Amino acid sequence: MNDKLIVALDYATEQDAMALVNQLGDAVSYYKVGLELFLNTRGSVVDLIKAQNKNVFLDLKFHDIPNTVAQAVAWAASLGVDMFTLHSSGGEEMMRKSVETVNETCERLNVKRPNMVGVTILTSFDEAGIAKVGYKNNIADTVLNLAGLCKTSGMNGIVCSPHEAANIKAACGSDFITVCPGIRPAWAAAGDQKRITTPADAIRIGVDHMVVGRPITKAEHPYEAALKIMEEIGGVTK
């Protein structure tokens, strides 16, 4: 269960991020590095986290024409991260070319291949929100369609709301990875996430990795908060 929890390092500085990593110690083995932290540290935080034998989920959400993204993911794979994101709305050609490039890069460099997961609909969206940006179908159908594109392109899984995870597993197979933000323990505030669920319920419905930020990073005692979540998900029987 230890790799089920990914803690989002939503900080602006390397010092703040690594202070939390050190504080959480052996309670957490997996961390998300997003745009803000990656850019502010010029990527150095990835090496620091890996030096502590932790897993890194690089969440830069690559989205561009196929050749440009292929070059970017080759570089990402060379960093030794364990998982990273692409926007699935970039299309099948973009994702397929990226998968081929990562496979070639990892074989050439003799490094472990990272999991590649597609971002579907951000959990800050609700039905009214996606309608405003032009999606014709509802969230569930749109996510399912994008998940199918990821699967046929050779991607390992998707980022989705926990509410879509069970349908994704049914459509794409049990080994198709679901990475879910929008996880909030019952004792934490929802914040700006609209489609949320608890850690225990996430495990029950088949979520592979849950991304948790503020319930841990903003807690008065982050280590105790992380342990509380791990105890919650560890006690679940599917």
Whether residue 150 contacts residue 157, with contact meaning beta carbons closer than 8 Å, is answered with: yes
SS3 222: helix
Q: Select from 67, 121, 119, 58 the least CA-distant residue to 98.
A: 67
Location of structure tokens 């679940």: 236
- Phi, psi angles (nearest 5°) of residue 175: -90, 0
Closest CA to 139 of 153, 128, 154, 150: 128
Q: Please provide residue 217's backbone torsions phi and psi, each rounded to the nearest 5 degrees.
A: -65, -30
Q: Which residues are the active-site residues?
A: 61
Rounded CA separation 188/64 (Å): 36
